[in-house]
Structure 1
Amino acid sequence: ARFSVIRYFASEVQNAYGPNVHDPRSGEILESHIGWYHNVMRLLKNWYTTQTAAVDESARQNVFDDELMGQLVRFVASHEVGHTLGLRHNFGASNATPVEKLRDPQWLAENNHTSSIMDYARFNYVAQPGDGVTNLMPGIGAYDRWAIEWNYKPIYGTNSPEEDKKILNQWYLDKAAGNQALYFLTEASTYDPRAQNEDLGDNSMVASEYGIENLKRILPNAVNWTKEEAKHYEMAEELYDNVFAQYRRYMGHVTKWVGGIFETPKTYDQDGVVYEPAPAQMQHDAVAFLHRQLFREPTWLLDQEITQKIKADRGVNMIGSLQSSIINSLYGTARLQRLIEAGSAFPDAYDLADFYSDMQRGIWAEANSGAATTVFRRNLQKIHLEKLITLLKPANGSSPGSSTFFRATASVNPVVTDISSLTRGTLKELHDTLAKAAKRAPDKLTRYHYEDCMHRIEEALDMED
């Protein structure tokens, strides 16, 4: 290929990509050909509506005007050009921005809402109505300018690659070391909560609270903003599904903080540690957020004025499936082992016992308070109980998980760790709690539910009558 081009594909695929052809001997980029699938515009439309319609009236329509869509296209094209120049995704860039600054118009005008367009930061879903924020799209940021300078600025007066390397390292130490806006965090990290896609700000719990408040403003308008004469409710259903998908992303962002490990790459001539547990308070806050926003059924998602027009079911299975997914993730053996490791190495760390206690107290709150249960809460409690039983007695043929901490990767068999002991003790305590709760249950279905759960625990623990 002789020419660098943008290739357009008349396709339903919702994507774009930015490769290059380079000389492996020198790194010289010979050619690039950004691929642009037509339906990426539909993806951009859905993202922008779901993330910004609470504050931007132009996002409240089925078809965007050319000016708005042009800005969205430019954003994606800029990201892909970054790839053609050799830049990787930098999923840590958005973490450099304090959450409250995402509501500050002056700060955003000077800094953008992420320090790199190579992050998957998308659009500013944190800004609230009344903040006066109009700069909702990412732009080329401090990290991007620094990365291009480091990669492409000519170095004169040297005679070997080794001499160049020393100068490049000094540039990094002088300018980037200690400046979080210039940090790079890989897209491959499975355990650093600062390195996530689709997130904003330095605190996922606070950012997601703001995001949910905006989703609550958008959802009641799903029909009014999408209606067309003599048309069915397909567009309203698509908006609803995208609102739920965005809500689901927030739950994932928060979940990653539990058992999270910060990995800050350093060289020998830099001070400080490379690996450390995420702050204990942040992990407590993450579990509290999940109790508040997911495990207590999110009734705002079940607005009958909307759902009766677009869905046959009433949302019980939809909410239960998400709760199950998050609980399975929270109780993954790799995450639990990281909590054990953190507790063994750091006295003030959020450890396995803290996590079990926080989860038990929130999920089984009605058993302690004597309050009635709802179908959502009963389903949630059964999901939680079954996960604990599975940890205690893994199914035949199931594979142990793997844990990564301090660059050590090993299989995790819960049966030979504190996971088994704490799970067994938790089930015994829960059985005692349910026995008392069943006697004072406020309704028959709640009592039957507790008795059912007690029976499952008795079978799992081989308890005698």
Structure 2
Amino acid sequence: MSLSAMSSMPAMSTAHPPARLRPAVAAVLTLAALLSACATVPGGGVEASASPAAAPGAAASAPAGKPAAVAQAGNGSARPATAPGAPAAAPAPGQPPAFAVLTKDAKKIDGLLGVWQKDEKFWIELSEQDFGVPLFLSPKIASGIGEGSVLGGLMASRWGVYGGPQLVEFRRIHNQVQLIARNTDFIARPGTPEARAVSAGFSPSLLASAPVASLAHPERRTVLVEANALFQGDLLGLGMALQQKYRQGYALDGRNTAITTVRGKRDEVVLEVLSHYATATIAVPQPGTPAGAPLPTTPLTLPDARSLFVRVNYSLTRLPDQPMAARAADGRIGHFVATTSDFSDDLLRSPRLRHITRWRLEKKDPAAALSEPVKPITYWIDRNVPLKYRDAMRAGILEWNKAFEAVGFKNAIVVRQQLDEANFDTLDTGTASVRWMVNASPSFGAIGPSHVDPRSGEILDADIAFESLSSRALRNIRSQLLTRTAADWLPLLQAADARREAAAREPASAHAHAAGEACQHADLAAEELGYALDLLQLRDGLDPAGPEAQAFVMAYMKDVTMHEVGHTLGLRHNFRASRVYGERQIADPEFGKSHALTGSVMEYAPINLARPGEREAAPFQTTLGPYDYWAIEYAYRPIAPAQEAAELARIAARSAEPELAYGTDEDNYLGIDPEALHFDLGDDPVAYAAKRLEIVRDLLARLEQRSLASERDYGVLRRVVSYALRDVGRSAGVLARQIGGLRTLRDAPGTGRDPLQPVPAERQRAALDLLARGVFAADGLSLSPALQRRLAPDFLERRDALEEGAGSVGTDFVPQQVLIELQRALLAQLMSDGLAQRLLDAESKVSAPGQSLRLGELYGRLDREIWAELSGKGDIVAARRELQREHVNRLAGLLLNPRGLTRADARSFVRVQAQELLARLQAAGKRTGLSSEARAHLQDSADSLREALQAKLLRTGA
């Protein structure tokens, strides 16, 4: 029978054919399917479908990873399988239903990709041209649980606890559609043998898959794939993240997970998925669990810890047809980078290409010295931001226009306010935003992440989030519920080997921190804000509810906004910027009106507090620093392609200018650079630390005399003392970093400066002296018994903490124990192997003897200060015994573990010091005037040293 004859036969119902006709009907349908999959080709022949089992009217299946080819008629136009308007033919057995059947009574949502909805079912309409095309998948946590990094309004980040943005494509293999995450980290020039090698060497990832849901549309040749199957899975790995965080069996509950909303735009489609995670049972800590082992916990914010919902926004957008011109990164200036390994040229030293991340900014009038951009960088202030903070945030965003004007852009940044009745979400891709986040406890204060085009580093989206608990209204809760102590302000003291161990335990978070993805600026600044408000209220009579205090908070809000906007413009932290100005400039109120307090708002700067009796200067940064202008110039100055390399080299060559000093997260993270650290201010770190310690002593003295009104509670005293002691920890950290510090400059050759510079010996000695007098000395910091008896908790908050399982608000508060923890942390650093190595190595880096601090000098000063009571006649109080015992334990530990100190010279110093201390302990134990506790302490310390010195050690090596 000819094809034309078959097409002229009367239609036959195939829904319920008589039993005797069913085999014949099936045969006819199968033959029709085969013939309809053929197309006339030039010369009158036919071309067979690639797959005999292809659905009637469907495109031929393509090889894996390739879009299916459209069957073409001889004139080059698509040949419809069914005449327009004709009823859809019923599918063959085992084939999906016809397009019209599946979409009957369904609603069409137009956008980048058409989406059809019928009740709870959603289908994405895909043409043959949509397969294999890269799309940008940008996930956002629209609503979370207020803790555990599952926070509503948070942009998913690649280095977070769950998955981040991906370059994806739809791939059809026969009748299965896969959502594939492309591997963008490894590339080669298309069409080359190297590109084939890269394709064979590195794999993409499968995110989800679903069968083709319909036959091809008879005219558009499109098919449907079920969106529920593709997007209702755990694409971000939140179940795994919850398991790791809480040690519970959380997993996605697919039955109670649903797509709730789909929004379509011409260049975007957004699917909003409400995901349910659950566990059937709650694990509890088991008896006999080894000390330090992770214990199961539960989220404290849920009505029932077995169940939680997370709403995720998945935005799919088309990448720009023409990638933005990439701009090479330079290590002398701090920009985030998009890194790929390009194997096109195997003669290069490294295949890695590093391009800075930046917005696409082009002049409307390229010839004009100052021109508006073709498309400005637009920040939307979300409607959930409290009214009172919007003006300060707007001012912080627009402050960056000053830097863009310097490179030729007028109004490069604009700010818009989302209206309450707006029908869009500021989380949608391409809508940079500032949002307000309400969490159960402070996590980061504020954060400024961005999503970028991996091909070029173009920033496609950014969503800044502010935590509500950063505001001054809840500073009391922050102080009393946070478990952070003075010693916790010493992460910068951690030796490099200890940092590596920490990174091995939590590689993702460590990588994020070192790469600058994690930002604690607002969280730490909020702590400083609370301390400063209490200090100024007590010392200068500041009304915490008055306009001066409100202006103080707004200045803080602008400062934090500028910092986070800087991140979303592509700038990394600059922790060396605090060294740009001297104390005289910083303390001048007029200077702060027109200048930043540091070289960059990307610094973690402390609040600029005045000494007792001095005029208050500008407390926060209210404008950009010189480094910020420089970094924006490198990233955004329009440069002709032919001149770009030379012009960028010229800009970066200014790195040796003092106001452009730069050091970033890894410089701080590695723990040896004395300048790239948090919360120092001014060009003399020892003078800065001395000033802050003076402020603390004055504050504690004022607290001794403070009387509280009957309507107040004693919790305020505990809060202020806690803040003060933590500020001591910050100051001690600044000082400790100077000892054995190695200044690491990012200069290129030709600046006249050596890139590795040991800290001058006189600065190290000054820092050690201040630590000895201000932290280790018996009279360094003290509180009277009367004041300590008044440091009661806020009893309502204590109850809340116990109910929530926090347990961090105890009844008693002993400041001396806080100081002991700080002293222990300092000893751990000052007696560490890493510091010993640096001091010994520094002797070979200086030009003359005496220009470096010697290891024996450090150990001797610690011994004299810690054991000062051995040369006196009085008793030894409990706090001093604690410190001395810590010193003895460290000496004994180093004696018993030769691997604890790498260098032989260091081990020799420890042994000699232990022998000398043992003799002094034995002599002091015989004197009169000692309490029984002190006498036992001296005897026990002597026994520990004696046994360690006499122990037989198994020595390794020659």
TM-score under structure 2 normalisation?
A: 0.43
Matched with 2:138 is none
1:39 counterpart = 2:522: no
- CA displacement, residues 153-172 of structure 1 (integer Å, 9 cap, x when unaligned): 1123x42xxx4122112123
| TM superposition shift of 1:316 | 3.5
* Of 109, 134, 146, the match for 2:617: 134
| TM superposition shift of 1:394 | 2.5
- Alignment gaps of 5+ in structure 1: 401-412
SS of the equivalent of 1:379 reads: helix
SS of the equivalent of 2:434 reads: strand
SS of the equivalent of 1:7 reads: strand
- CA displacement, residues 405-434 of structure 1 (integer Å, 9 cap, x when unaligned): xxxxxxxx5165222111001111112223
1:451 counterpart = 2:939: yes
Contact conserved, 1:104 with 1:131, CA < 8 A, in 2? no
* Of 346, 352, 368, the match for 2:855: 352
**In 2: Cα distance, 1:329 partner to 1:381 partner:** 16
Equivalent positions of 1:147-296 (< 5 A) are 147-156=631-640, 158-159=641-642, 163-173=643-653, 176-189=654-667, 190-220=671-701, 230-296=711-777
Contact conserved, 1:340 with 1:352, CA < 8 A, in 2? yes
* Of 946, 949, 958, the match for 1:461: 949
Higher strand residue share: 2
* Of 883, 890, 905, the match for 1:418: 905
Contact conserved, 1:105 with 1:131, CA < 8 A, in 2? no
Change (3 A) 1:93 1:35: same
- CA displacement, residues 63-92 of structure 1 (integer Å, 9 cap, x when unaligned): 985433222211111110000011111011
Matched with 1:9 is 437
**In 2: Cα distance, 1:226 partner to 1:75 partner:** 34
Contact conserved, 1:343 with 1:352, CA < 8 A, in 2? no
| Letter aligned with residue 293 of structure 1 | G
1:433 counterpart = 2:914: no
* Of 869, 877, 882, the match for 1:374: 877
| TM superposition shift of 1:145 | 1.6
Equivalent positions of 1:25-174 (< 5 A) are 25-41=455-471, 42=475, 46-51=527-532, 54=535, 57=540, 61=544, 65-125=549-609, 127-139=610-622, 140-156=624-640, 158-159=641-642, 163-173=643-653
- CA displacement, residues 198-225 of structure 1 (integer Å, 9 cap, x when unaligned): 2212232211111122223334555998
Change (3 A) 1:69 1:106: closer
1:326 counterpart = 2:826: yes
Matched with 1:405 is none
SS of the equivalent of 2:575 reads: coil
- CA displacement, residues 282-341 of structure 1 (integer Å, 9 cap, x when unaligned): 111121111111111356542334321224254342222221111112112111111111
- CA displacement, residues 364-410 of structure 1 (integer Å, 9 cap, x when unaligned): 22223445432222221111111111112139xxxx6xxxxxxxxxx
**In 1: Cα distance, 2:951 partner to 2:451 partner:** 66
Contact conserved, 1:441 with 1:447, CA < 8 A, in 2? no
**In 1: Cα distance, 2:451 partner to 2:694 partner:** 45
SS of the equivalent of 1:188 reads: helix
**In 1: Cα distance, 2:598 partner to 2:928 partner:** 51
SS of the equivalent of 2:925 reads: helix
Structural RMSD (CA): 2.8
Equivalent positions of 1:329-408 (< 5 A) are 329-346=829-846, 347=849, 348-394=851-897
Contact conserved, 1:112 with 1:135, CA < 8 A, in 2? no
Identity, % of aligned positions:
26
| Letter aligned with residue 570 of structure 2 | G
- Alignment gaps of 5+ in structure 2: 1-428, 476-522, 793-811, 953-958
**In 1: Cα distance, 2:592 partner to 2:533 partner:** 15
| TM superposition shift of 1:48 | 2.2
**In 1: Cα distance, 2:862 partner to 2:543 partner:** 39
| Letter aligned with residue 439 of structure 2 | S
Change (3 A) 1:216 1:383: same
Contact conserved, 2:791 with 2:813, CA < 8 A, in 1? no
Change (3 A) 1:71 1:104: closer
**In 2: Cα distance, 1:258 partner to 1:310 partner:** 35
